[in-house]
Structure 1
Amino acid sequence: MDISVVIPLYNEEESLPELTSWIAKVMQEHNFSYEVLFVDDGSTDSSWSIIEDLKQQYSSVKGIKFRRNYGKSAALNVAFEAAQGDVIITMDADLQDSPDEIPELFRRIKEEKFDIISGWKKKRYDPITKTIPTKLFNAATRKMSGIQLNDFNCGLKAYRSDVVKTIEVYGEMHRYIPVIAKWAGFKNIGEQVVEHRARKYGVTKFGMSRFVNGFLDLLSIFFVGKFGKRPMHFFGSLGVLSFVIGTFMALWLIGVKLYHISMAIPYKRDVTDQPLFYIALVAIILGSQLFLTGFVAELVTRNAPERNQYLIEKEIL
């Protein structure tokens, strides 16, 4: 099978028939073998009934229905496991992503040998309350990941099959799939300007909380990807640094006191009367705790069943 089109959705009953018809038209024009995999993320409208009706009209339509709303990342993760195409295309169900982009995305994956092609909605039809935070997150993600994409959160993306079969998506990490893929060793990541259409039906299902959750997930990806198998390097380094700074400050205060005593110079302030002493004490305690945290994390990592699981691309034995 050439293409799996993965479409997570939540309460998008109005757009599903038009979207499916549009996809079928594009696929037939280019003679692609394909499947359309809808993942109903606990919709409360008639979305699932419409998917069942669409299955009767289009043999390529498949569906998965969650019992409740788990989020877009969960929907994508389940769909990635079920997808059978050589190239997986993800897109939103609200008709803001154009199926006309699929042939070029497919061509670039197959001919230019990209692992991922991420869409870039250069001209957007979203309100300013959504576009400004998105720009800030894109800038932060570029800085932390080193991946030069303009629009990490674009729902229209194309993947080689082995990419989606390797990675795991959870939390709010669907917007950071290129980062997850890079940490998994898939570094050939490209970008393509795609059409962004104004929403035709309904309203957006995402609130402002997604920005907070997205930032926390970005920190999680960065930490796990960099220090997941060696937590002692992170906690231990911070712990030793804090401990050394605290110890130096404490010794300096004690040295000043002893110097005045040895030189018979009046010095009325005790070591414990100075605020710097308590800062030094906190630094020493914090350093010890960070070091012990790293030690415990290292023990947990060494006993994890996947501690020696590494992704192998090719073998000659």
Structure 2
Amino acid sequence: MLKYSIVVPFHNEEDNVTTLYDRLKGVMDQVGETFELVFVDDGSRDRTYRLLEEIAAVDSRVMVIKLRRNFGQTSALAAGFDHAQGEFILAMDGDLQHDPQEVPTFLAKLEEGYDVVSGWRVARVDNVMLRQIPSRAANWLMAKLSGVDIHDFGTTFKAYRREVIQNIPLYGEMHRFIPALASWYGASICEIPITIVEREHGKSHYGISRTFRVFFDLLTIRFLLKYMTRPLHFFGTIGALGMMGGTFMAMWLLVLKVATGQNIMLLHGPLFVIAGVLILAGVQMMGIGLLGELQVRHFHTANNRAPYAVDRILRLRSSEESLLQ
């Protein structure tokens, strides 16, 4: 097995591909261990894939995965993780804002025994109002909700042990919450400061709309961390409270009817309706909880369904591998 896998998703980064490859290769050659570079083309419309194809044609340590369309960063990372062969896996962006010179620091922390090493963008260079302030608020809230004490969940620049990252299902935009999901599996997590520089070429794919989506994802993560394996505890509690409240109201109205002979619908019609709605809603919530339990069972059944579709995979076989064929 290879020692290290470096996974890099690209989307319309033709100006950065060759430079990043040269820098990464130079850094990993100095590390002195076996490695591979897993480059994922996430449906680029420029010359990104052509350049990656040229790189893979001359370097057997490079694997290029071409997705059929733009599936998004999380799916591109999932494709890279699924095909990576290294014992330790590091992910980074392909826009040169992540400095390859910092890769050995991540790898050293993994060697110390940590399962997840997360980058911390201490001094950010993006827009203060549109990016930095919303990001800090989201990171603070995420740390409180997940119980993982790190400052920066959003950066892609992270390193993982293979057995940890392969146990985490990735879909939607969940890549930023990998530390929180890994903590559910008992992973040890640390954080190291990283330097972020201005993009040398190309245009950022991030905007304020992405920040708003993060807050919705926070609710999902909170639910997953606390009730992922026991959804009936969440929905069942709400359902039980609803049924108890509705039943109490209905019993009180029944006693009132028997004791006083009042016209309940005329005098207490709204309360009677509320009681019926609470009981019905409670039953429905209990049913949702039971359906959730079935989904959990399905989740823990191997289905091997990936959130992406691969068009082709390129890799030049080394001379040693050719001799063994």
Give the TM-score category using the shorter length.
0.7 to 0.9
Q: Is the 8 A contact 2:243 2:282 kept in 1?
A: yes
Please tell me the residue identity of whatever aligns with 1:297.
G
Determine if contact 2:7/2:92 at 8 Å carries over to the other structure: yes
Give 1:232's aligned residue: 232
Task: Provide the residue aligned with 1:295 in structure 2.
Answer: 290
What are the Cα deviations for residues 154-175 of structure 1, in whole angstroms up to 9, with x where unaligned?
A: 1110111111222221111011
1:132 aligns with 2:133: yes
Q: Give the CA deviation at 1:26.
A: 1.5
- 2:204 is aligned to 204
- Where do 1:61-210 residues align within 5 Å? 61-111=62-112, 113-127=113-127, 128-183=129-184, 185-210=185-210
Deviates more, 1:174-183 or 1:292-301: 292-301
1:306 aligns with 2:300: yes
Q: Which moved more, 1:56-65 or 1:208-217?
A: 208-217
The offset of 1:254, in angstroms, is 4.9
Q: Who is 1:281 aligned against?
A: 276
Q: Deviations over 1:69-107 (max 9, x none)?
A: 001111111111111122111100111111111111111
Are the equivalent residues in 1 in contact too, given 2:239–2:281 (CA < 8 A)? yes
- Normalised TM-score (structure 2): 0.84
Query: What is the letter of the counterpart of residue 187 of structure 1?
Result: A
1:279–1:35 distance in 2 versus 1, CA, 3 Å:
same
Q: CA deviation at 1:130?
A: 1.6
Tell me if the contact between 2:242 and 2:281 (Cα under 8 Å) persists in the aligned partners.
yes
CA distance in 1, matches of 2:155, 2:251: 55
Residue 153 of structure 2 aligns with an amino acid whose one-letter code is: F
In structure 2, C-alpha distance between the alignment counterparts of 1:306 and 1:4, rounded to whole Å? 27
Aligned-pair Cα RMSD in Å: 2.5
Counterparts of 1:66 and 1:270, CA distance in 2:
63
Cα distance between partner residues in 2 of 1:96 and 1:64: 22
Bigger relative contact order, structure 1 or 2, given CA contacts below 8 A and separation 6+? 2
Q: Which moved more, 1:200-209 or 1:155-164?
A: 200-209
Distance 2:255 2:76 in 1: 62
Tell me how far apart the structure 1 counterparts of residues 267 and 293 of structure 2 sit (CA, whole Å).
36
Give the drift of 1:177.
Answer: 0.9
Give the Cα separation in 2 of the matches to 1:296 and 1:306: 15
Q: Is the 8 A contact 2:265 2:272 kept in 1?
A: no
* TM-superposed deviation, 1:301: 4.6
SS of 1:2 mapped into structure 2? strand
Alignment of 1:244-255 (within 5 A): 244-255=244-255
- Residues 305 and 299 from structure 1, CA distance in 2 versus in 1: closer, same or farther, beyond 3 angstroms? closer
* Separation in 2, partners of 1:156, 1:215: 21
Q: Equivalent residue of 1:210, what SS?
A: helix
| 1:257–1:271 Cα contact (<8 Å) kept | no
Q: Deviations over 1:135-162 (max 9, x none)?
A: 2221221122111111001111011111
- How far is 1:206 from its partner? 2.7
> Per the alignment, do residues 279 and 193 of structure 1 end up closer, same or farther by CA in structure 2, a change over 3 Å counting?
same
CA shift, 1:8, in A, is: 0.7
- Decide whether the 8 Å contact of 1:254 with 1:271 is kept in 2: no
Task: Write the distance in 1 (CA, Å) between the matches of 2:55 and 2:8.
Answer: 14
Map Cα deviations across residues 167-204 of structure 1 (whole Å, 9 max, x no partner).
22111101111122222x14201100111111111111
For 1:63, the aligned partner's letter is V
Instruction: Name the structure 2 match of 1:219.
Output: 219
Q: Distance in 1 between matches of 2:232 and 2:273?
A: 27
- Please give the per-residue CA displacement for 1:278-313, whole angstroms capped at 9, x wherever unaligned: 3333222211211122234335555x383699xxxx
CA distance change for structure 1 residues 68 and 283 in 2, over 3 Å: closer, same or farther? same
TM-score w.r.t. length of structure 1: 0.86
Moved over 4 A (4+): 253-259, 267-272, 299-302
Equivalent position SS for 1:166: coil
Does the CA contact (< 8 Å) of 1:229 and 1:307 recur in 2? Answer: no
Corresponding residue for residue 312 of structure 1: none
Residue 86 of structure 2 aligns to a residue in which SS? coil
Size of the aligned set, in residue pairs, is: 301
Does the alignment pair 1:11 with 2:18? no
Unmatched tracts of structure 2, length 5 or more: 304-325
* 1:190 alignment partner, SS class: strand
CA distance in 2, matches of 1:151, 1:71: 20
Three-state SS of the structure 2 residue aligned to 1:5 is strand
